[in-house]
Structure 1
């Protein structure tokens, strides 16, 4: 660490402290300090009364959440707004009545207070409280360094704390700038990506799968662009990361195969449009509808309210039933049997009419009922009907159709058989023990 840079920074701090002590020994320093304290206490007392009235009027704002957040941020800082206004009036009066050197402390406090007010209000845009406070303090510290004329000397000192890595000179100043620039760039890129994704999702000219694909590409592209711009802005040569990116690529290939496979599978699913949000699918024992397509998994919601996060790779490598891929209509079969004394023609007609009475059965596609075989104790039939809403469940509609068949058969005297067996007992009778009927 160069001793000259440390000496310059220490000298600047000592000069600032000496000036402060020199001014503090004068009577006008005490006067200014008393004025600042009186104005601060006055602003605190007045702000309590003003905040209540402004808060009541702010609650009347409806339909503008962004404007309401800005108004709320200003109301919460009413004491600082009043304090800054009072300091500005006091400074103007003192400079008009006396020498400017007798109001330097008020000028410094006014600048620092104004910087804190602007930083605190702008930080309210960030919803996370910890992040908002961190941003506010960082912005205020940077502004305070500029106001106190310490920014250049501190920058020189941080730049002297460097570690050479080949052709790269990695200093503390570069690290701090990089972290701040990357944080700001990523935050702005996420906001921009979400905005673009929302606009794409509202488009009616694109299919659901294409909207998801375009939204994901926009988010990834904006983040990559923001990182590249941020690193270039702080003077980092992107070609220096060639070896590092190659090592990361090898690590992804060996250690993150499943992650890369799921990401690639997700892109393929979106491109071939085989699955889209809202489709009803069956994968193994899972039956439900697609709620959301993600980069790594697909969210499937079942009838019992469970949400399965199924990896994208499973939709590529396994057999998937998409009930609504090309047509919303889905055909269901219900098998039943009646006794042999029933008229099969009448049974078919009654079964069709019973199915038509169920609300979810599609009326435009008339159900059909066929005799499929002569069983051991029944005439076997299959009833086939169509529905348009498989996401509402399959078992429930089959159950309603079976109940309708039961009611119709009971009204018309048609019986549903149950298995029975006849046992014929034979006893030996006659010479030789031969059995006779």
Structure 2
């Protein structure tokens, strides 16, 4: 085996027109060895194996399968190789695929990530980009139905100014409510809104707008632009702001922060980001300075009539948890599923049954305070039902003594029956015989 330094010497001597025999004499290696390294048959620093490689018989099959499916899992390939006689481990298979470069690059996927990107112009007041940011591990006291929160981020494409609104869900009513809040924070409307192909905006079957979202866009007088399928890189402004919000704000948010405090916190954080310096067409500037050039149209005088609905299951005390507080329902609905309705900006919520009948209306408490709101009618009805369903008498204690009573003892006697009488017969014959024997011995 030649080291890399010896290989350099051999190639240098060969370039100087030394013969193979002279190179072998000078370096102390055989002529066949020198000739194989010069032809490139052997690689410097790697000793040629004297035993056949057990993976060689499977190389052709593995290469063919990975050409057919470049994303085929190695563990799936291992399942196919076992019946063919391959006895190596999963680590051996992956090492051989890597060292032999058997997995080709997928051209279809390379088109998405490695294609050249064109520079997209964003005139002032032209476009607002919207996107959801999923926030895992939301505080439990927020009262969200799952352990996730969602942040709708809206970014002005020209200046990069962005604002965000928290939501417990990504469904259509929460999207419209969050968009209303974000548009109010931005202070106006651009000519168009840009989204990816989310189901709450576009019908996946027809590719057309959802009817309610279409009415929402008409109410604001804007156009809706959806990114083309498999052609991303159209929402770079909002995606970068999503990354900033997730890494610099959400990761450091304290556990005891209430939902309202978190909303105020993200608004303050986004406002601070407006002052950061960035590279613009006219040199170094800030998003706040570029925002002055945005020609935003005013918002409609009336908000779009949207109702946010969420389902909850009532407890045995006829209470539901919502946004960190508890609200009462009629006791007949204990352990039943009810629906909460709220209009954005309203100070009350309506609670309905599965059939849609309104059974309760409560004034909203500040989210996250742990307040319980009960009506007098619900309290009276719950006490009445609880007292009526209570068992008569005193409940039994855990260590109370209950010996068998008269009825139990009579039943026991019937099972066992009366004991059979036993007669005792005393015979004096044995004593008489013992007395006779005693007199005889005397």
Which structure: greater helix fraction? Answer: 1
Larger radius of gyration: 2
TM-score normalised by the chain length of structure 2: 0.28
Relative contact order higher in (CA < 8 Å, ≥ 6 apart): 2
TM-score normalised by the chain length of structure 1: 0.28
